[in-house]
Amino acid sequence: MDEKNKPPKDYQKIDPDDFYNYEEGFVEKSGGGGSGGSAVRKGKKTFNALKKQQRSKSLEQRRSDLETSLKQVLKGFPSLGNPDFKEKQLDRYTAWIRENITELGPLDLSEIEITFSKSGGPGGQNVNKRETKVSFTHQPTAIRAESEQTRSQLQNKALALELLYERLQSHINDWKEYLIPGQIVEIELVQILLEKEV
Q: HSE (CB half, 13 Å, CA atoms) of 79?
A: 2
In the chain, domain spans? 54-195
pLDDT tens per residue, range 75-127: 888 776 677 788 888 999 999 999 999 999 999 999 999 999 887 655 555 55
Tell whether the model's pLDDT for residue 158 goes beyond 50.
yes
Instruction: Give the chain's mean pLDDT.
Output: 79
SS3 of 13-60: the string is CCCHHHHHHHHHCCEEECCCCCHHHCCCEEEECCHHHHHHHHHHHHHH
Burial 109-144, CB ≥16 within 10 A → b, else e: eeebeeeeeebeeeeeeebeeeebbbbbbbbbbbbb
Tell whether the model's pLDDT for residue 33 goes beyond 70.
no
Q: CATH number of the domain at 54-195, out of 1.10.443.10, 3.40.50.300, 2.70.170.10, 3.30.160.20?
A: 3.30.160.20
Per-residue pLDDT at 54: 74
Q: 136 falls in which pLDDT band (50, 70, 90)?
A: very high
The 3-state DSSP class for residue 138 equals strand
SS3 of 143-178: the string is EEEEECCCCCHHHHHHHHHHHHHHHHHHHHHHHHHH
- pTM for this predicted structure: 0.67
Rounded to an integer, the average pLDDT of 17-24 is: 52
41 vs 59 pLDDT, higher one: 59
